[in-house]
Structure 1
Amino acid sequence: MDENETEMDAETVVLTDDAGRKIACTVERFIEVEEQDYALLVPVDAPVEIFAWQGETDDDEEAIPVESDEEIDVLFPIAKAVLEEQNLTLKRTAVVLTVEGDLPDLEDEDEFIEITSETDEEDVEELQLLARFYRDEKEFAVYAPLDPFFILARMDANNQPRLLLPEELEKLQPLLADIEDQLFDDFDAN
């Protein structure tokens, strides 16, 4: 696998998904793999996730990410209203939900959670609590990742980013992991 990496100034591009949703991103790095150009992107606005809290008692509660478009469509207006109380604007963007506005400072340990990957116990994601809300007596929360959120896109003939097909992403995952580790180190140094 031939790879060449080039660092660029923060160029902004717009990525569009199959549903026509758009997300503005900065280009962190261009990468060439097997004569195909790719871009590693970071959303301009802060990415967020909605989680459902499930469990019988406080001791066995678990945060489960809401991933289905249908459920997100139902929860979106409620989450949007709750976040507006904090001067944050929730957006239904491509790839991931985002919020526009200044995220609050992380002041209390109760304001973040750690989610462990189901496939890799060493892969722990820290998330900052932005808001809680209820729907049909079920608790939900909106969290923002504390680490940068990367999107890998294929560059087309017009030099526009395109979302990867699942098989493309799977093929590039080992390369992406190495690049993400390097970029996390770069972000931590700044």
Structure 2
Amino acid sequence: MEGSTIVLTDDAGKTLPCTVETTFKVESTEYLLLQPVDFSVQIFAWQETDDEEETELADVTEEEIDVIFATAQAVLSEQNLTLRRSAYTLTVEGDLPEPTEEDIIEIDTEEDGNCSEFQELAHFYYEEQAFSVFTALDPLMFIAKVGTGGLPEILTPEEMNALEPYVEKYLDHVLSTEDAEEDS
């Protein structure tokens, strides 16, 4: 199954083609580590801070994405990228430009202060509001379980929390095995 492509479908019927990176079992349940075929992207708005000289990124709601989607799609199409409203994430299809230092920004993506590096793909304005489209330099991964009828199901937050220790142990094992192979 590793290397094959499967399609996730959300409650709204949107789809997300993914490559199966690996499979593993915990107790009697089979799990899949999935990476979207296309590049996952996020759109952020630029806001002024209390210090009017600086700006910061702010999350964009689903309703705002509905309004700005066509503009973002048009700006990305100038780079031969196709923006899609896929299941669980926005994606772009096409060849991403090579990242330069000016394109890379660190964004605090979690409550505990963890930062991830993102590449800015496009910057645009909609009704005088500035927006940017970013893709993470580390690919987005999903964990799904094989559900009824053999169809993949994204884990609930509760299931993900319960599975986290197993995933960490599994990934530690895989990484240490890869390191040992490289040293040989």
Q: Distance in 2 between matches of 1:46 and 1:183?
A: 24
Matched, 1:62 2:53: no
Give 3-state SS (helix, strand or coil) of 2:11's partner. coil
Pick closer, same or farther for the CA change 1:156–1:125 going to 2, 3 Å. same
> What is the match of residue 159 of structure 2?
168
Mapping 1:143-182, distance limit 5 Å: 143-177=134-168
Matched, 1:17 2:16: no
Kindly state the Cα deviation for residue 174 of structure 1 after the two structures are TM-superposed: 3.9
Q: 2:111 aligns with which of 119, 127, 133?
A: 119
Q: Which residues of structure 2 form unaligned runs of 5+?
A: none
CA deviations over 1:98-122 (Å, ceiling 9, x no partner): 1000000112x2211101244333x
Kindly state the Cα deviation for residue 177 of structure 1 after the two structures are TM-superposed: 4.7
Kindly state the Cα deviation for residue 37 of structure 1 after the two structures are TM-superposed: 1.4
Compute the TM-score of the two structures, normalised by the length of structure 2. 0.85
Q: Distance in 1 between matches of 2:149 and 2:27?
A: 18
Q: RMSD value over aligned CA atoms? A: 2.3
Give 3-state SS (helix, strand or coil) of 2:73's partner. helix
| Bigger Rg, structure 1 or 2 | 2
Mapping 1:132-147, distance limit 5 Å: 132-147=123-138
> What is the match of residue 5 of structure 1?
none
Q: Which residues of structure 1 form unaligned runs of 5+?
A: 1-7
Q: Distance in 2 between matches of 1:106 and 1:120?
A: 27
Kindly state the Cα deviation for residue 163 of structure 1 after the two structures are TM-superposed: 1.8
| Counterpart contact for 1:49–1:97, Cα < 8 Å | yes
| Counterpart contact for 1:129–1:143, Cα < 8 Å | yes
| Counterpart contact for 2:10–2:87, Cα < 8 Å | yes
> What is the match of residue 44 of structure 1?
37
Kindly state the Cα deviation for residue 183 of structure 1 after the two structures are TM-superposed: 7.2
> What is the match of residue 96 of structure 1?
89
CA deviations over 1:69-117 (Å, ceiling 9, x no partner): 222211211110110000000010011111000000112x221110124
